[in-house]
Amino acid sequence: MSRKIIISCGDPSGIGPEIAVRALKKLPSGDRKRILLTGNIDCLKRAGWGERLCPALNISAENFKLKPGRISVQSGLVSFKSFVLACRFAAGGFAAAVVTAPVSKEAWKMAGLPFMGHTDYLEKRFKTSCAMSFHKGAFNSFLITEHIPLKKAPSAIKADRILEKFRAFLKSGLLEKKDLIVFSGLNPHCGENGFLGLEEERAIKPAMRKIEKMGFKTAGPFNPDDVFLKYEKLGAKAAVFMYHDQLLAPLRLKFGSCVHATWQLPFIRTSPSHGCAFDIAWKNKADCSSMLEAVKFALERV
């Protein structure tokens, strides 16, 4: 029998509880029996959860009261405690995967938590460097830098970092030797041989050569807008992007919803590819499609 999946329901002031419950209602009962929720029970009930849907563990915080659409210390603590409990269960072998609904990094900071979000916590908790990837159908991609200010991205692009993230992504099992990986550049026109920037020459191309020595094929670096076309034309199996919005902006325009996954952990972690959407929280407007994809992605792999 497959092991369980735990869904941490995210910031209760955002759309997390709504999309978690809606996604669950679209799953067959056999899949729901494998799922455990961690989140505030009152919020889950308000979102339509009931005991017949799946089991849930109640999480709360001192003086917590639901304030839809409002970032707060209390909602940040509820989301953090829900997530930490899910990770504890998964690390202990009770579950094979954790699916995380969106949290507010601002709420975590307000609550005095020393983490920039899910991935930062996971890397520090498990003392690893994770690969942050995004998936839609046959399109697989991952980032070299994640949640850092854009002005810090160029200095973070090093050959060693690219290789580190590539090795972490290999844990996904989505690549085999001789598969082709396409790379984006960092600078306009991929630096034009150093005229518009040196990161391609000093970091990206050397990393690509080392990846080829590992038995894989590489192509690029290409302009980010060309990567999607090259991926399909060349039959690539993965695409590598240098910073967050370089991938996420065109990815959402092309595919809409997709799945985010984190690799090189003792368990599978997936999530929807969007944030808390406080502006539409608890207004019956939230789309659960990305959350549903994240849950299905995890179910298929445990």
The CATH number of the domain holding residue 244 is: 3.40.718.10
Instruction: Tell me: pLDDT of 1 over 50.
Output: no
At 196-234, the pLDDT tens digits run 888 989 999 999 999 999 999 999 999 988 999 999 999
At 227-275, the pLDDT tens digits run 999 999 999 999 999 999 999 888 888 888 899 999 999 999 999 999 9
Question: d(Cα 281, Cα 278) in Å, to the nearest integer?
Answer: 5
Quick one: average pLDDT of 289-293? 96
Kindly give, in sequence order, each residue whose CB lies less than 8 Å from that of residue 180, ignoring residues fewer than 6 positions away.
Answer: 216, 217, 218, 219, 234, 235, 236, 237
Residues 122 and 169 in one domain: no
Which tokens hold the place of 289? Answer: 């499609």
Residues 116 and 176 in one domain: no
pLDDT value, residue 225: 85
Residues 148 and 251 in one domain: yes
Query: Which one, of 184, 179, 178, lies nearest residue 162 by Cα?
Result: 184
At 7-49, the pLDDT tens digits run 999 999 999 999 999 999 999 999 999 999 999 999 999 999 9
Residues 80 and 148 in one domain: no
Q: Are 180 and 221 in contact (CB under 8 A)?
A: no
Confidence band (pLDDT; 50, 70, 90) for 2? low
Share the mean pLDDT of the chain: 94
Residues 7 and 109 in one domain: yes
Q: What is the residue range of 238's domain? A: 130-256
Query: Which one, of 189, 187, 184, 173, lies nearest residue 207 by Cα?
Result: 184
Radius of gyration of the chain (CA): 20
Residues 165 and 245 in one domain: yes
| Domain count of the fold of the chain | 2
Q: Exposed e or buried b for every residue in 79-117, given b needs 16+ CB within 10 A? A: bbbbbbbbbebbeeeebbbbbbbbbbbebbbbbebebbb
257: left (phi over 0), alpha (psi -120 to 50) or beta: beta
Question: d(Cα 169, Cα 152) in Å, to the nearest integer?
Answer: 22
At 128-186, the pLDDT tens digits run 999 999 999 999 999 999 888 889 999 999 999 999 999 999 999 999 999 999 999 99
Query: Beta-carbon neighbour count of residue 32 at 10 Å?
Result: 16
Quick one: average pLDDT of 71-84? 97
Whether the CA torsion 204, 215, 232, 297 is positive or negative: it is negative
Residues 118 and 18 in one domain: yes
Residues 248 and 147 in one domain: yes
Residues 114 and 135 in one domain: no
Residues 84 and 179 in one domain: no
Q: Which amino acid is present at 268?
A: I
Residues 114 and 50 in one domain: yes
pLDDT value, residue 89: 95
Question: d(Cα 148, Cα 150) in Å, to the nearest integer?
Answer: 6
pTM: 0.92
3-state helix, strand, coil in the chain (%, to 5): 40, 20, 40
Residues 140 and 121 in one domain: no
